[in-house]
Amino acid sequence: MNGRLEAEAIRDPAAYDAVLFDFDGTLVDTMPLHFEAYRRTFDELGLELTHEDFFRNIGGTALETIPKFLRGRSTTWTVVEIHERKKRALAEILEDCPLSPLPISRLLPLLHGRVPMAVATSGARPGVSRMIARLGWERFFGAVVSAEDVRHGKPAPDLFAEAARRLGVDPRRCLVFEDTDDGAAAGRAAGATVVDVRAMAAPAAHQQLR
């Protein structure tokens, strides 16, 4: 998306039929929490997960990204078992860790009641739902679409296409906010207009790797 169109989209998001948000790294600075949960899980396996391995491969569903994290290294756990243990580790972290909303989240109360909104995330539903509830954001979203709801994660268009379907709108009339290359590609593949939030106010975790 070019700079002029991006500026126009941010100026009047309500001109679209719906606004679709990625969650982690777009609305809330949770990527460091996910990294820590995966790091602890890989540590149990006796394997190292580096910042670079994590942030360069994140974007798709866990079942798609965990093999990339492994880089061909053998393990006694299946990908599904690794994901389940990671979810438990994240739940433990969320018990005590404060959540840090990102600047794009300021759009939520401004757009509430003016345009339908949804979350389309590669994250697992339990963690995402828990964080949305903690932040008191349930009222903002007409749909929350997560990894469990689609066959293919980002960069495939499935998540955004399904979010649009649940809101009853054409994805080509949607505005998408994203923070990863795969996420932006997914939005474009769905036919939506995409705003890359990294060009605005990226979390520190992304700034380290750009």
Catalytic residue, chosen from 12, 17, 22, 179, is: 22
Active site residue 24: no
Q: What angle do CA 21, 145, 101 make, to 5 degrees?
A: 40
Single out the residue of 80, 93, 99, 86 nearest to residue 49, CA to CA.
86
Helices (H), the chain: 3-11, 31-44, 51-57, 62-70, 79-96, 107-111, 125-135, 158-167, 181-189, 198-201, 204-209
Rounded to whole angstroms, the Cα distance separating 66 from 70 reads: 6
By annotation, the residues acting in catalysis are 22
